[in-house]
């Protein structure tokens, strides 16, 4: 029975998450406490879920890109661009009209959000065309937008932090629905949509087949270039949604710092979730687990009072340990040290 | 005056893990001659070249250069002795300039001790002079990658000449050149020959051999068949020497009738692609197996790739059901009912880590599109049917296809295409690298399908196989069609046509 659990591909990421949560509970007795206030749930766990949502969104997009043998290191910049576009178009101010306080936006919020997502999709399209049509290596192709996109975001914000004064926009990153943070619902809906696409259409088969053997997929009639372009577009949109959630959460857009190094966290989340960077077989749920591990780890480091100057080192050490746990070679090597091999049972 | 022997090998023997790649081969190369080395795949041509250039040591035998015994230990060592090689794939650095490529590793330096900075002016001047010797006037400071392959080939030759070579070895230098470029290369070779250089030239193109070679050595199965003068060796005799079979003995024996041939499925009118295939006509009909006869490099695979949309045709047109069609990608060809088992099974055929079920469903799913999803249950039903029909030996349908034997992998690829119910099946070396029993099963399956109305284009390097199964044989040579033969022709007839002057 135990063997069946431990052979599941998500066992080790799941174990790592449980372990991290247990460490939290030991250092912080109030960790699991949930409070019901004003119709909302409050607590450390809820907080982690809320903060992990943007990273989970980006990691979902990244998973599909990595499954096609690609990588997208421009997602952090796309987060910043999307946040800047939304913040600029909404802006907003509090106007007192006839003695009533009303929020006024520069453009309607729906238009602003739609524009931000369209811009994010265009970013993805650019990446996808460079990879699939021009034939550039994905890391180089997306490096262009990683650098240039950050510049575009800074240009849009004029190097300043743009504050948003329009309360309805704050709901994306701070609102609650059915007692849970709204951002969690956004991530869940995106995950569910992608999951359905992968299991109810041929998308999953095509993406895996392209990731494992692009030449054979092409010969078999899979339109591999089109699918690769679409995957990058989706990755851009996912990063765009994450940018909206983040800027809503902090009620502003910061072209310099929004989404910085997020591409690396997203790649890390995908890897922690058991998807190999060489493409092919992938796990969407694993990437979400990976995002939760990273956010839990960050929260843990703060809550157990690790000095800020060493927290990157602690993070690196934990990530290294989780990666080792996931490696069958490492596990069997360790097992060989502690368990006497059964004669004749060599595998 | 008799020309002197520059390079001489006696009794060269080389084994690879017990297999004799070269067995007591004698070989001589004279000054001022172009010497063609001919043989089928696996005849030992590459091994011989690698032993001559010091890449592999010989297990037995001796090498003499201008009468003195030599033992080159590496390609660099051989080059110092005056034996330069230009390999099939141009192995230069595309990101360096032409001049840098010519002198890579031997940059001229300023100062008497050679420790000062690189003498760029001298390097470019010398490179220009070397290329001028090859009738090539180009800007040597530009990147190599900015020039076409033919020029890169010349640069590779210039590099080989820059070390005062006495022997120049060219390993299939013309395989990526078009006719015009080949003619230019031959001008250069004639000029070098006139200067007394000994040139060893490996090619699969018969016409080129007769156009340039002064002497021909034929290898077969690691042994030297003989050394000939082209004038004394008709093409048919050359092919016999290479193939090594008593051609007259191998009688054609068709196993099915030709009456089944029906309406045209695909008509190719003058299709071709520059540098790959000269324009040719082919018609494929319902229920007919069209075999493609030709030696390696004759354009067989190129024809298959053009028909299936893997490469774009740049002349001629394809007609299906009286309507011109255009295939820019395999997906378009598949929509018109084409299917193809590619030559390189591992690279272009199987998707190794996917299961047998997914591999079989892949092409059908690709044709049905993204949204029209074959559920795993339906995939399983389809896969089960073909596993039973073709007798695919696999533990179960979820086994990764990489774990199957070569023959069973090939059957999975075949099943993938049969699932799409194609009108035309292109088979490029469908029986390569699989055992005899599986080979027979696959051939029987193909013939059975043809009887049911499938049009088949059958490509194989085993001529007896082509002759046995084909209703009609399209014969290719040097990337052009030289004729068509009826299905009951003998192997000899095919070889005669290949050997004849078109």
Q: Calculate what percentage of chain B has a pLDDT beyond 90.
A: 20
Nearest residue on chain A to B339, alpha-carbon basis: A220
3-state secondary structure of B485: strand
Kindly determine whether residue B370 and residue A201, on different chains, have CB atoms separated by under 8 Å: yes
In this prediction, the answer to ipTM > 0.90 reads no
Shortest Cα–Cα distance, B389 to chain A (Å) = 21
Provide the shortest C-alpha distance from residue B330 to chain A (in Å).
5
In chain B, which residues have their Cβ closer than 8 Å to the Cβ of A216? 342, 347-351
Cα–Cα distance list, B247 to B204, B468, B496 (Å)? 20, 14, 10
Q: Do A213 and B351 touch (CB under 8 A)?
A: yes
Structure tokens at A228: 């690769």
The token pair that represents A232 in the structure block:
């990058």
Return the pLDDT at B469: 85
Number of Cβ within a 10 Å radius of residue A316: 10
Set of chain A residues whose Cβ sits within 8 Å of the Cβ of B352: 212-213
Question: CA of B107, closest CA in chain A: separation in Å?
Answer: 32
With a cut of 90, say whether residue A83 has pLDDT above it.
yes
Nearest-Cα distance to chain A for B497, in Å, is 32
> pLDDT by residue (tens digit) across B318-369?
999 888 999 999 999 999 999 999 888 888 899 988 999 999 999 999 999 8
Provide the sign of the torsion angle of the four alpha carbons B132, B135, B138, B143, taken in this order.
negative
Q: What is the mean pLDDT of residues B3-11?
A: 87
Closest residue, chain B, to A207 (C-alpha):
B370
Residue that is written with structure tokens 């740049």 in the block: B314
- CB–CB of B351 and A215 under 8 A? no
Q: Which of A67, A194, A201, A221 to mutate to test the interface with B (most CBs of B within 10 A)?
A: A221
DSSP state of B116: S
User: Does the beta-carbon distance from B371 to A201 stay under 8 Å?
Assistant: yes
Interface with chain A: mutation pick from B367, B370, B373, highest number of A CBs within 10 Å? B370
**Picking from B64-68, B89-93, B363-367, B477-481, which range would have the lowest pLDDT averaged per residue?**
B89-93
Of B442, B386, B448, nearest to B410 by C-alpha is: B442
How confident is the model at residue B253, as a pLDDT? 39
Range of weakest confidence among A128-137, A298-307, B10-19, B258-267: B258-267
For chain A, the domain total comes to 1
Is A317 or A92 the better-scoring residue by pLDDT?
A: A317
Cβ neighbors of B96 (< 8 A, separation 6 or more) are B104, B143, B144
Q: Which of A9, A216, A226, A276 to mutate to test binding with chain B, by most B CBs within 10 Å of its CB?
A: A216
Most confident of A27-36, B89-98, B225-234: B225-234
Q: Which residue pairs, CB below 8 angstroms and at least 24 apart, start in A8-11?
A: A9/A274, A9/A283, A9/A286, A10/A273, A10/A274, A10/A283, A10/A285, A10/A286, A10/A289
Give the CA distances from residue B175 to residues B181, B248, B498, in Å, rounded to whole numbers and listed in that order.
Answer: 11, 31, 18
**Confidence at B252, pLDDT banded by 50, 70, 90:** very low
Mutate: best of A133, A220, A275, partner B, most B CBs <10 A: A220
Sequence-separated (6 or more) residues with CB below 8 Å from residue B457: B282, B284, B290, B292, B304, B307, B424, B425, B426, B427
Torsion of CA B180, B186, B192, B198, to 10 degrees: 150
HEC letters along A60-104: HHHHHHHHCCCCCCCHHHHHHHHHHHHHHHHCCEEEEECCEEEEE
- The residue among A219, A227, A234, A280 with the most chain B CBs within 10 A of its CB, best to mutate, is A219
Q: For residue A138, is it within any domain?
A: yes
User: Is A213 close to B342, i.e. CB distance below 8 A?
Assistant: no
User: What is the mean pLDDT of the segment spanning A258-287?
Assistant: 89
Instruction: Say how far apart CA B182 and CA B175 lie, in whole Å.
Output: 9
User: Is A258 a member of any domain?
Assistant: yes
pLDDT at B249: 36
**Binding-site residues on chain B for chain A (CB distance < 8 A):** 308, 310, 329-331, 333-335, 340, 342, 347-354, 358, 361-363, 365-374, 416
Query: Cβ–Cβ of A200/B373 closer than 8 Å?
Result: yes
End-to-end CA separation in angstroms for chain A:
20
Are the C-beta atoms of residues A324 and A330 closer than 8 Å to each other?
yes
Measure the CA–CA gap between B235 and B246, rounded to whole angstroms: 15
Neighboring chain B residues of A217 at a CB cutoff of 8 Å: 351, 362
In a domain, A76, yes or no: yes
From A200, A205, A219, residue closest to B342, measured CB to CB = A219
- Strand partners of residue A36: A41
Convert the pLDDT of each residue in A113-138 to its tens digit: 999 999 999 999 999 999 999 989 99
The model's pLDDT over B282-322, given as tens digits with 9 standing for 90+, comes to 999 988 899 998 877 788 888 999 999 999 888 989 999 88
Out of B330, B354, B373, whose CB is closest to A219?
A: B330
Evaluate whether B442 touches B386 at the Cβ level (below 8 Å). Answer: no
Residues of chain A positioned with their CB less than 8 A from the CB of B329: 218, 223
Q: Is residue A155 domain-resident? A: yes
Smallest Cβ–Cβ distance between B366 and the set A215, A222, A280 belongs to: A222
Model pTM score: 0.71
Domains of chain B as residue ranges with CATH: 5-247 (3.40.50.300), 260-337+422-502 (3.40.50.300), 347-421 (no CATH)
Confirm whether A335 is domain-assigned.
Answer: no
Shortest distance between the Cα of A113 and any Cα of chain B, in A, equals: 28
Q: Is residue A256 part of a domain?
A: yes
Residues of A in contact with B373 (CB under 8 A): 200-202
B329, B334, B362 ranked by CB distance to A205: nearest? B362
Give B371→chain A minimum CA distance, Å. 5
Interchain contact, A216 vs B361, CB within 8 Å? no
Smallest Cα distance from B361 to chain A, Å: 10
Q: Which CATH number belongs to the domain containing residue A128 in this structure?
A: 1.10.3470
Do the chains contact at A216 and B353, CB–CB below 8 Å?
A: no
Q: Give contacts of B347 with chain A, Cβ < 8 Å.
A: 213, 215-216
Write out pLDDT tens, residues A222-233.
999 999 999 999
By C-alpha distance, the chain B residue nearest A221 is B331
Mean pLDDT, chain B, rounded, equals 84
Quick one: pLDDT band at residue A342, thresholds 50, 70, 90? low
Rounded to whole angstroms, how far apart are CA atoms B452 and B458?
16
Residue B234: band (very low, low, confident or very high) from pLDDT cuts 50, 70, 90: confident
Do strands B215-220 and B60-65 pair parallel, antiparallel, or not at all (unpaired)?
unpaired
Judging by DSSP bridges, how do beta strands B5-16 and B60-65 pair with one another?
antiparallel
CB contact under 8 A, A205 and B361: yes
Indicate the pLDDT class of residue A67, thresholds 50, 70 and 90. very high
Residue A344 lies in a domain: no
Which residues, at least 6 apart from A29, have a Cβ–Cβ distance to it below 8 Å? none
Q: Which domain holds residue A260?
A: 39-326
Band of pLDDT at residue A240, cut at 50, 70 and 90: very high
Q: Which pLDDT does position A222 carry in this prediction?
A: 93
Residue B1: is its pLDDT beyond 50? no
Q: What is the average pLDDT across B407-425? A: 90
Mean pLDDT for all residues in chain A: 87
Lowest mean pLDDT among A175-179, B258-262, B360-364: B258-262
pLDDT band (50, 70, 90) for residue B254:
very low
Distance from CA of A334 to the nearest CA of B (A): 28
Inform me whether the pLDDT recorded for A2 exceeds 60: no
d(CA A70, CA A250): 31
Q: What is the pLDDT of residue B435?
A: 62
Residues of A in contact with B366 (CB under 8 A): 202, 206, 220-223
Under 8 Å CB pairs connecting chains A and B tally to 80
Find the closest chain B residue to A225 by CA distance. Answer: B329
Is B366 in contact with A220 (Cβ distance < 8 A)?
A: yes
* CA distance, residue B423 to nearest chain A CA (Å): 16
Instruction: Give the residue-averaged pLDDT of B371-376.
Output: 88
> B331 vs A216: CB contact, 8 Å cut-off?
no
Per-residue pLDDT of B145-204, as tens digits, reads: 888 777 888 888 888 887 778 899 988 877 667 677 788 888 888 988 888 889 998 887
Determine how many CB atoms are found less than 10 A away from the CB of residue A147: 12
CA distance A58 to A51: 13
pLDDT at A36 over 60: yes
- Tell me the mean pLDDT in the region A178-190: 92
């Amino acid at each position: 029975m135990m063997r069946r659990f431990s052979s599941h591909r998500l066992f080790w990421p799941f174990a790592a998450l449980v372990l991290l949560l247990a460490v939290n509970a030991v250092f912080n007795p109030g960790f699991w406490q949930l409070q019901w206030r004003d119709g909302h749930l409050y607590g450390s766990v809820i907080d982690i879920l809320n903060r992990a949502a943007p990273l989970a969104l980006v990691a979902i997009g990244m998973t599909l890109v990595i499954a096609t043998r690609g990588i997208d290191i421009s997602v952090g910049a796309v987060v910043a661009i999307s946040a800047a576009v939304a913040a600029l178009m909404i802006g907003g101010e509090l106007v007192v009209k006839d003695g009533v306080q009303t929020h006024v936006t520069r453009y309607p919020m729906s238009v602003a959000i739609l524009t931000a997502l369209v811009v994010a999709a265009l970013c993805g399209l650019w990446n996808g065309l460079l990879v699939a049509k021009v034939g550039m290596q994905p890391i180089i192709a997306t490096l262009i937008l990683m650098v240039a996109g950050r510049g575009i975001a800074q240009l849009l914000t004029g190097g300043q932090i743009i504050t948003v004064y329009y309360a309805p926009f704050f709901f994306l990153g701070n609102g609650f629905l059915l007692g849970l943070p709204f951002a969690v619902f956004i991530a869940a809906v995106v995950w569910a949509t992608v999951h359905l696409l992968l299991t109810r259409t041929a998308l999953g088969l095509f993406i895996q087949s392209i990731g494992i053997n692009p030449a054979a997929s092409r010969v078999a009639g899979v339109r591999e270039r089109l699918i690769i372009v679409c995957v990058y577009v989706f990755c851009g949109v996912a990063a765009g949604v994450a940018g909206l959630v983040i800027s809503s959460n902090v009620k502003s857009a910061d072209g310099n710092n929004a989404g910085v190094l997020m591409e690396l966290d997203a790649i890390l989340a995908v890897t922690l979730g058991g998807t190999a960077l060489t493409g092919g077989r992938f796990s969407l749920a694993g990437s979400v687990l990976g995002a939760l591990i990273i956010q839990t780890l960050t929260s843990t480091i703060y809550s157990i009072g690790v000095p800020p100057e060493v927290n990157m080192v602690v993070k690196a050490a934990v990530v290294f340990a989780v990666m080792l746990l996931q490696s069958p070679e490492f596990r069997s090597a360790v097992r060989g040290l502690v368990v006497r091999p059964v004669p004749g049972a060599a595998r | 005056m008799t020309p002197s022997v520059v390079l001489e090998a006696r009794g060269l023997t080389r084994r690879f893990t017990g297999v004799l790649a070269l067995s007591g081969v004698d070989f001589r190369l004279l000054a001022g001659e172009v010497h063609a080395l001919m043989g089928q795949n696996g005849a030992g041509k590459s091994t011989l070249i690698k032993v001559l250039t010091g890449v592999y040591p010989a297990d037995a035998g001796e090498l003499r250069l201008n009468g003195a015994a030599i033992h080159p230990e590496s390609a660099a060592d051989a080059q110092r002795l005056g034996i330069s090689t230009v390999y099939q794939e141009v192995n230069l650095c595309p990101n360096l300039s032409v001049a840098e490529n010519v002198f890579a590793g031997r940059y001229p330096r300023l100062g008497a001790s050679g420790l000062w900075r690189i003498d760029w002016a001298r390097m470019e001047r010398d490179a220009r002079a070397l290329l001028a010797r090859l009738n090539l006037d180009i800007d040597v400071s530009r990147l190599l990658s900015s020039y076409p392959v033919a020029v890169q080939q010349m640069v590779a030759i210039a590099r080989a000449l820059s070390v005062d070579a006495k022997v120049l070895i060219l390993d299939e230098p013309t395989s990526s050149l078009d006719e015009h470029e080949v003619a230019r290369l031959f001008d250069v070779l004639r000029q070098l020959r006139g200067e007394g250089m000994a040139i060893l030239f490996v090619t699969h193109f018969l016409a080129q051999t007769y156009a340039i070679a002064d002497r021909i050595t034929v290898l077969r199965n690691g042994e030297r068949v003989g050394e000939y003068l082209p004038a004394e060796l008709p093409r048919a005799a050359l092919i016999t020497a290479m193939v090594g079979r008593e051609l007259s003995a191998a009688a054609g024996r068709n196993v099915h009738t030709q009456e089944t041939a029906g309406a045209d499925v695909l008509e190719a009118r003058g299709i071709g692609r520059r540098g790959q295939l000269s324009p040719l006509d082919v018609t494929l009909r319902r229920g007919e197996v069209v075999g493609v006869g030709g030696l390696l490099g004759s354009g067989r695979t190129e024809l298959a790739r053009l028909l299936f949309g893997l490469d774009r045709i740049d002349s001629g047109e394809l007609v299906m059901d009286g309507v011109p069609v255009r295939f820019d990608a395999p997906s378009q060809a598949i929509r018109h009912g084409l299917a193809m088992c590619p030559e390189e099974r591992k690279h272009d055929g199987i998707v190794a880590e996917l299961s047998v079920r997914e591999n079989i469903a892949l092409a059908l799913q690709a044709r049905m599109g993204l949204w029209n999803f074959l559920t795993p249950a339906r995939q399983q039903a389809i896969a089960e049917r073909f596993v039973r029909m073709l007798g695919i030996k696999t533990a179960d349908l979820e086994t990764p296809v990489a774990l199957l034997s070569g023959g069973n992998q090939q059957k999975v690829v075949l099943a993938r295409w049969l699932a799409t119910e194609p009108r035309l099946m292109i088979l490029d070396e469908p029986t390569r690298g699989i055992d005899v029993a599986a080979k027979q099963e696959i051939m029987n399956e193909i013939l059975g399908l043809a009887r049911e109305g499938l049009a088949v284009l059958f490509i194989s390097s085993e001529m007896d196989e082509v002759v046995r199964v084909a209703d009609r044989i399209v014969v290719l040579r040097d990337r052009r069609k030289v004729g068509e033969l009826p299905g009951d022709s003998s192997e000899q007839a095919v070889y005669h046509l290949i050997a004849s002057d078109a």
